[in-house]
């Protein structure tokens, strides 16, 4: 009887930015069972989003993983995360996810070191080389965080599904 069914499975292989075959299998099963939106957790890194088509005709939007949001982990890829952006149009006939107005907003988790302390979450589009160079992951984990890596991973994982803050504000 729900207008939109959201399912949040805890799944996937940690630190892997591609969904596993079992995630894909379960996503299809959840879609067949009536899920409209699937937002996965657990891998600590971003994974793609895709539309799942079940054999019974049901269709769902699946975000395999949006990353951590807040973390002080020591892997650079763990500092990249995403916010799901979903537009749902409600009419007398029911609720429909508007595919053209749906995607992800890439974010960066930034923390300081000595002591390790969370600072803020930034829009990737506003994050600078200077901020990346000052990230606590360098002192805490011995890892260089590069803006070009964050941008490259975003493109590789999300491609054309990236939405900018400007696009959202225009609506």
- What pLDDT, on the 0 to 100 scale, is given for residue 146? 98
- What pLDDT, on the 0 to 100 scale, is given for residue 170? 77
Segment 137-166 shows an average pLDDT of 96
Share of the chain above pLDDT 90, in %: 95
pLDDT of 153 strictly over 90: yes
Q: Give the Å distances, CA to CA, from 62 to 23, 56, 111, 121, 152.
A: 10, 17, 29, 23, 22
Band (171; pLDDT cuts 50, 70, 90): low
- What pLDDT, on the 0 to 100 scale, is given for residue 159? 97
Q: What value does the mean pLDDT of the chain take? A: 96
First and final C-alpha spacing in the chain: 30
Q: 47-83 pLDDT, tens per residue?
A: 999 999 999 999 999 999 999 999 999 999 999 999 9
């Amino acid at each position: 009887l729900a207008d939109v069914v959201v399912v949040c499975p805890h799944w996937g292989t940690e630190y892997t930015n591609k969904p596993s075959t079992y995630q894909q299998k379960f996503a299809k099963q959840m879609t067949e069972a009536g899920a409209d939106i699937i937002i996965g957790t657990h891998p600590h890194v971003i994974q793609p989003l895709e539309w799942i088509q079940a054999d019974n005709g049901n269709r769902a939007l699946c975000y395999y993983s949006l990353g951590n949001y807040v973390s002080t982990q020591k892997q650079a890829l763990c500092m990249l995360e995403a916010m799901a952006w979903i537009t749902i149009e409600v009419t007398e006939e029911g609720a429909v996810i508007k595919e053209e107005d749906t995607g992800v907003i890439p974010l960066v988790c930034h923390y300081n070191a000595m002591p390790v302390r969370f600072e803020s979450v930034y829009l990737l589009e506003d994050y600078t080389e200077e901020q990346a160079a000052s990230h606590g992951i360098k002192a805490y984990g011995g890892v260089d965080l590069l803006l070009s890596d964050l941008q490259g991973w975003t493109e590789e994982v999300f491609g054309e599904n990236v939405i900018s803050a400007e696009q959202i504000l225009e609506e």
